[in-house]
Structure 1
Amino acid sequence: MVAAASLVTSVVPESSWVASLPIASALRATLPGRMAGLTLMVAGLGLMVWAWLLIGREVLAGVRYRLTPVVIAWSAPLLLMPPLFSRDAWSYAAQGALVAKGYDPYSVGPGVLSGHIIEAVDPMWMSTPAPYGPLPLAYGGLAAGVTLNPYALMLAHRALAVLGIVLIAWAVPRLATACRVSPTVATWLVVANPVLITHGLGAAHNDVLMLGLACSAFALALTGRWGTAAVLAGAAAAVKLPGGLVVIAIAAVMSPLAGRARLRLASLVIAGAVAVLTLMTIGELAGVGSGWLSALDVPGLVRSPLSIANLIGLGASGLLAWLGEDTAAKQALQIVRLVGMLTALGLIAVLGLRSSIHNAARAVGIALLAVVLLGPTAHDWYFVWCLPFLAVARPGRRLTTTLVGVSIILTIAAPLNSSLRGAVIPILVTTSLVLVVAATLLGHLHTLQLHGRPGVGCRVLRPLPANTAPSDEEAATGGQDHKVRGSPERGAGFTAG
């Protein structure tokens, strides 16, 4: 249903095959047709979330569940469809064309191009430089060297999202095992999460690749290969800069004990240096150098209400304007945004220096969440940045319920995106549908029962010596099939506190 609805609701190039589909093109041309597509979209998303909750009820109760076929089944219909809820993938395609044609994507926007490649690019980003790292731009340039068909280039970037999900699906069970959390529960909460599938894969956002590399870096670090992990952290930052925050966890693995500031600082410097060197090397190999640093403020052009800094800044600006302080009103938003970023950086510094290996996953999750909430802008799919790390950090009942509730809301509300800008009737009708469906699904949260037992956090995974049997606790928590001691049919899950 979601895939079918995307043929009507998604913005596509006029030259694409979707624009000429007989039934879909007729529906796209009329307001009733577009509303029918939006209704089908919200209904399909509601059914997907409902199915996710039904599976979660069994998984959290300890029933073993094969989640990989579920994720594949939910993802497959979206692979060839237009991007969901966002037009960013069309910008990716155009930015790749800029690289292929010899332009500097950090100096000019897609507006310097002409033809089919810019047909579906959001006008807001037509003249802005690319705010992304060199890795997706280099990849986009290689793809654009083969074809300038915008739909084919969009699919090429969706392939990166698929790679990101594969990396996340590989890393999350290993992180969960190391952190003594049920791998099945963590996989359900992260990999099968409708937000990751719809926003990540469906919209083809490169955030998914960033997250996959970051999760893989942490998983490798927990096996003792921190050097390779630091390289992957640099690669994650080469997609989007926040991915590099995983060095907090890598440093925690290198110096596991908290409270030893000098040793931790040395670990942060070493891991950070390797990551930065990797980032700079990728930039030089891609031919764009470090010019992307000057474009990091581009996402701040969107005054998203999901950012606490934006909400406070806009409120202060409005109040000052009402009081007649026009000059101060213009500066208020920028000042509040600056304070928000400084606060986030201070929190990141504290987490980096004081987090032990046992709460390294939580530290990275909180650091990424701080960047989202206190940064200059935030989009709904940014939520997935912190999801894997918080999911394996032994979250209690309240945090797990919050993660599930936020996932429900962000999935159902996804159609209320920029493509509805200025369309009053579709916005009002879709909002009403979203409120009804979201409220109904949120009412089922109380049916999720979390089972588990207390335990320590993450630890380095090392192979057992030959002929050495694992301890009772290792047998209970160290593998894919976690079990609560004395209860063979219950999988170890999250703590109840």
Structure 2
Amino acid sequence: MRLPSPLVRGAVGACVVAAASLVTSVVPESSWVASLPITSELRATLPGRMTGLTFMVAGLGLMVWAWLSVGRDVLAGVRHRITPLVIAWSAPLLLTPPLFSRDAWSYAAQGALVAKGFDPYAVGPGALSGHIVEAVDPMWMATPAPYGPVPLAYGGALARLTLDPYLLMLAHRALALLGIVLIAWAVPRLATACRVDPTIATWLVVANPALITHGLGAAHNDVLMLGIACSAFAVALTGHWGTAAVLAGAAAAVKLPGGLVVIAIAAVMSPLARPRLRLASLAIAGVVAVVTLATIGELTGVGSGWLSALGVPGLVRSPLSIANLIGLGAAALLSWLGENTAAKQALQLVRLVGMLTALALIAALGLRSSIHNAARAVGFALLAVILLGPTAHDWYFVWSLPFLAVARPGRRLTTALVGTSTILTIAAPLNSSLRGALIPTLVTTSLVLVVLATLLPNLPTLQPARPARVPATTV
């Protein structure tokens, strides 16, 4: 029996994920999803929710299987049209509730704060009432927004037209879709400039189920940040580094880590990597980006108060952050030894050391990287922020994906990127939506392990049969 094509398998998987989201995703009680005849009954019972989670993991498994199948062909030199695959795998998720995370409901509420004249950097969604806050995670009800002025101004403008949380969520998903379009435009250009096969890079990044599900499905504004940052690098390679630095500031105006693309812009400005020239280039590009960031804040009326709220994500003690793991371990040991005061300070101290280490690594990458390694430098700088910062969510790892994928990845790095993407996609249902639910967490973990055990053995076969490079082009 002949298997359906990867396009069909991935599309079916995406449809299954979309249907399962009607059961598993947190939605406002006033929304149309909450009153659907069949899924609303499934949502109301534990067996029903477990059914939804089972289908969710199965659908994600189909998407990853289809992606790996395409990758085996692409890495072997078989030509594939990636764009139709991305469209087919993404379209079913456009109108669904947000997958795996409730952040999109916070975006909607923060936009409503702006529309009603509140300062989103001083108060949280708890200052509002009604349908707009029905699905906001209680953890974030009293916290200010840690995001830049772009998504807040955008959300505020739309909230003046409607306060329907579902419509506002879809509007933020449109920003994520724009981000994917920008990534799809930039990645082939970056790959060609770095002498990497653009088809392989596009498969690894744009068709990546982690980007599609976490980025588009969950409607995270990280995708817009990433799309603008990738575009900034691509524009810099055409010689328009001033425009590129402005775009870097715009990326930071979505989320601050996007501004790290100035490392690559500076490498374009001074490709010989002489320390003085590189430092001057970093300073010039950085100043332009910072001025752009401040200007956007003033023009939108949102301001720069978000800088004081950057510590808000650190309220989540994510085990994906190395700094968190070390800090929590040290705090537990000191508490066991009876040093309660020191235990309380240990986590903050380790987090501070982690950020200082990340800054030192970023400085070294910015000063020493050549133009051919600029993409790798940005990718590793973003990884440093993720792993050594105060918190790390699973979708944060997508930040570094486009830059590492075009940085002439060898066998080990390619396998690491594919393996990490596979794990982050299949394990996505274990995110915050299951927090505190013991039985669903255990059952979902078991399902995830079964699917991963089926898919991960395929990774050693995903190796290029020839060097994944193309002739150099003039940029």
Taking structure 2 as the reference length, the TM-score comes to: 0.96
Q: Percent identity among equivalent residues? A: 85
Q: Give the 5 Å matches for 1:14-53.
A: 14-53=29-68
Residue by residue, what CA displacement relative to the aligned partner does 1:326-377 show, whole Å, maximum 9, x if unpaired?
A: 0010000000000000000000111111111110000000000000000000
Q: Is the 8 A contact 1:83 1:202 kept in 2?
A: yes
Tell whether 2:460 aligns with 1:446.
yes
Q: Matched residue of 1:120: which SS?
A: coil
- Which residue number in structure 1 is paired with residue 157 of structure 2? 142
SS at match of 2:430: coil
2:221 aligned partner:
206
In structure 1, the partner of 2:201 is 186
The CA distance in 2 between the partners of 1:453 and 1:15, in whole Å, is: 54
Task: State the alpha-carbon separation in 2 of the partners of residues 182 and 279 from structure 1.
Answer: 34
By percentage of residues, which structure has more helix?
Answer: 2
In structure 1, the residue matched to 2:237 is 222
Aligned with 1:386: secondary structure? helix
Q: What is the match of residue 237 of structure 1? A: 252
Amino acid at match of 2:426: I
C-alpha distance in structure 2 between counterparts of 1:452 and 1:85, whole Å: 38
Kindly provide the amino acid, as one letter, of the partner of residue 59 in structure 1.
Answer: V
DSSP 3-state at the match of 2:207: coil
Structure 2 distance, partners of 1:249, 1:113, is 42
CA 326–70 in structure 1, closer or farther in 2 if over 3 Å, else same: same
How far off is 1:449 after superposition? 2.2
Is the Cα–Cα contact under 8 Å of residues 380 and 400 in structure 2 kept in the other structure? yes
For 1:185-208, what per-residue CA distance to the aligned partner results, in whole angstroms no more than 9, with x for missing partners? 000000000000000000000000
* Separation of aligned partners in 1, 2:244 and 2:188: 17
For residues 397-424 of structure 1, the C-alpha deviation after alignment (integer angstroms, 9 at most, x for no partner) is 0110010000010000000011111111
Q: Quick one: distance in 1 between partners of 2:242 and 2:147?
A: 24
C-alpha separation in 2, matches of 1:395 and 1:453: 10
Q: Which residue of 2 aligns with 1:278?
A: 292
| Distance in 1 (alpha carbons) for counterparts of 2:25 and 2:303 | 34
- Tell me which residue corresponds to 2:5: none
Q: Deviations over 1:75-112 (max 9, x none)?
A: 00000000000000000000000000000000000000
Counterpart of 1:54, as a letter, is S
Task: Give the superposed CA RMSD.
Answer: 1.0
Indicate the residue corresponding to 1:364 in structure 2.
378
Superposed, 1:26-175 pairs within 5 Å as 26-175=41-190
Whether the 8 Å CA contact 2:75–2:468 is kept in 1: the answer is no
C-alpha deviation, 1:452, in angstroms? 3.3
Q: Which residue of 2 aligns with 1:469?
A: none
Structure 2 equivalent of residue 353 of structure 1: 367
SS at match of 1:444: helix
CA distance 1:213–1:454, change in 2 (3 Å): closer
Residues 132 and 240 in structure 1, CA contact (< 8 A), matched pair in contact too:
yes
Separation (CA, whole Å) in 2 of partners of 1:417 and 1:265: 40
Within 5 Å, give how 1:454-493 maps onto structure 2: 476-478=471-473
Partner in structure 2 of residue 326 of structure 1: 340
Q: 1:6-17 to 2 correspondence within 5 Å?
A: 6-17=21-32
Q: Determine helix, strand or coil for the equivalent of 2:226.
A: helix
Q: Please give the alpha-carbon distance, in whole angstroms, between the structure 1 residues aligned to 2:460 and 2:358.
A: 33
What's the CA shift for 1:443?
A: 0.8
Runs of 4+ in 1 over 4 A off after TM superposition: none
Contact 2:179 2:228 in 1 (8 A): yes
CA shift, 1:454, in A, is 8.4
Q: Is the 8 A contact 1:181 1:477 kept in 2?
A: no
User: Equivalent of 1:287, from 280, 283, 301?
Assistant: 301
Q: CA deviation at 1:219?
A: 0.3
Amino acid at match of 1:10: S
For residue 299 of structure 1, what is the amino acid of its counterpart? Answer: P
Query: What is the aligned partner in structure 1 of residue 11 from structure 2?
Result: none
Unaligned runs of 5+ in 2: 1-15
Shift of 1:44: 0.4
**Rounded Cα–Cα distance in structure 2 between residues aligned with 1:97 and 1:436:** 42
Counterpart in 2 of 1:253?
A: 268
CA distance in 2, matches of 1:454, 1:404: 15
C-alpha distance in 1, partners of 2:301/2:468? 50
* Cα drift, residue 163 of structure 1: 0.1
Q: Quote how far apart the aligned CAs of 1:453 are.
A: 3.3
Task: Tell me if the contact between 2:196 and 2:468 (Cα under 8 Å) persists in the aligned partners.
Answer: no
Native 8 Å contact 1:372 1:378 kept in 2: yes
Is the 1:161–1:200 Cα contact (8 Å) retained in structure 2? Answer: yes
The answer on whether the counterparts of 2:77 and 2:466 sit within 8 Å (CA) in structure 1 is no
Deviation of residue 477 (structure 1)?
4.8
Residue in structure 1 matched with residue 351 of structure 2 by the alignment: 337
Residues 129 and 295 in structure 1, CA contact (< 8 A), matched pair in contact too: yes
Matches of 2:455 and 2:473 in 1, distance apart? Answer: 34
The alignment partner of 1:106 has SS state of coil
The equivalent residue for 2:10 is: none
Report the secondary structure of 1:345's partner residue.
Answer: helix
Q: Which residue of 2 aligns with 1:316?
A: 330
Residue 411, structure 1, aligned to residue 452, structure 2: no
Q: Tell me if structure 2 keeps the 8 A contact 1:164–1:208.
A: yes
Question: Quick one: which amino acid aligns to residue 217 of structure 2?
Answer: G
Q: Secondary structure at the match of 1:324?
A: coil
* Distance in 2 between residues matched to 1:447 and 1:371, nearest whole Å: 31
Instruction: Determine if the alignment matches structure 1 residue 196 to structure 2 residue 201.
Output: no
Contact 2:229 2:258 in 1 (8 A): yes
Q: 1:296 maps to which residue?
A: 310
CA–CA separation in structure 1 for the residues paired with 2:466 and 2:347: 45
Q: CA deviation at 1:320?
A: 0.5
Unpaired runs of 5+ residues, structure 1, are 456-473, 480-497
Is 1:431 the counterpart of 2:472 in the alignment? no
Match of 1:466 in 2: none
Q: Is contact 2:197–2:468 with CA below 8 Å preserved after alignment?
A: no
For residue 321 of structure 2, what is the amino acid of its counterpart? S
Q: Deviations over 1:257-283 (max 9, x none)?
A: 12x111111111110111001100010
Q: Distance in 2 between matches of 1:387 and 1:375?
A: 18
Write the distance in 1 (CA, Å) between the matches of 2:191 and 2:473: 9
> 1:451 offset after TM fit, Å?
3.2
